[in-house]
């Protein structure tokens, strides 16, 4: 179906312009943008909640969901500025939606802008939002076979965060297989294990964010 491929390209090209505008704006303002991508229930919002309580930077969050504003309500309770985008059925965020949401967030003086993408391990990986880094968020209960089964995201990610490691005693999870496959797909990705509910590993994650922010501002 070459017809389908052509159209996809032209829509993507239009969206790339918005991604470039976002990249340019955040470059000027020295704001690090991190795009969190993972399955529904991978623990993206809980990771953000804990991160926002620990991180010594000024942050804002853009939440992407098919429906509801539950995640934005959770983030709002941390006192962090947050905007909810509802895609009304759409399976990923696109840059033109982000560009609009940025109207509602003053990025001047902001250190880190987190984007929590729609829960989906496939589609969001293909869309440039103008972010500095995509981060793959994957949870222990999903099983260790996900990197090779959904390779595109893991190949693109600046970091892979394995969440819910506090459940390892109750689940048969082969960590060597998981991290071995991540390394095969992407030898340069930072590899971090966290249990957001207990705080385990969050310091390694916030340290990484700090390094990324310093590199951006150098």
What are 13-16's contacts with CB under 8 Å, separation 24+? 14/96, 15/94, 15/95, 15/96, 15/127, 15/128, 16/95, 16/128
Spatial contact of 115 and 36, defined as CB atoms under 8 Å apart: yes
Cβ proximity to its own copies: between 111 and 142 the closer is 142
Cβ proximity to its own copies: between 7 and 214 the closer is 7
Q: Which residues pair with 163 in a beta bridge?
A: 139
CB atoms within 10 A of CB 209: 22
Give me the least distance between CB of 51 and its own copies, in Å please. 18
Cβ proximity to its own copies: between 81 and 151 the closer is 151
Cβ proximity to its own copies: between 122 and 214 the closer is 122
Give me the least distance between CB of 67 and its own copies, in Å please. 6
Instruction: Summarize as ranges the residues that interact with its own copies (CB under 8 A).
Output: 1, 3-4, 7, 11, 14, 39-41, 65-68, 70, 89, 91, 118-123, 126, 139, 141-143, 145-146, 148-152, 164, 167, 170-171
Summary count for the chain: helices (H), strands (E): 8, 7
């Amino acid at each position: 179906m070459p017809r389908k491929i052509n159209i996809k390209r032209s829509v993507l090209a239009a969206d790339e312009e918005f991604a470039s505008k976002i990249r340019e704006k955040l470059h000027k303002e020295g704001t690090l943008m991190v795009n969190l991508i993972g399955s529904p229930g991978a623990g993206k919002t809980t990771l953000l909640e804990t991160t926002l309580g620990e991180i010594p930077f000024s942050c804002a969050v853009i939440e992407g969901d098919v429906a509801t504003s539950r995640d934005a309500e959770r983030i709002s309770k941390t006192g962090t500025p947050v905007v909810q985008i509802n895609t009304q059925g759409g399976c990923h965020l696109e840059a033109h939606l982000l560009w609009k949401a940025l109207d509602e967030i003053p990025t001047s003086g902001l250190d880190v802008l987190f984007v929590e993408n729609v829960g989906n391990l496939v589609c969001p990986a293909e869309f440039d939002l103008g972010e500095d880094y995509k981060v793959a968020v994957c949870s222990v209960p999903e099983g260790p076979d996900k990197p090779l089964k959904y390779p595109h995201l893991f190949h693109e990610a600046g970091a892979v965060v394995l969440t819910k490691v506090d459940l390892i005693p109750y689940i048969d999870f082969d960590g060597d297989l998981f991290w071995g496959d991540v390394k095969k797909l992407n030898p340069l990705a930072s590899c971090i294990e966290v249990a957001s509910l207990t705080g385990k590993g969050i310091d390694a994650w916030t340290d990484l964010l700090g390094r990324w922010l310093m590199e951006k501002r150098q």
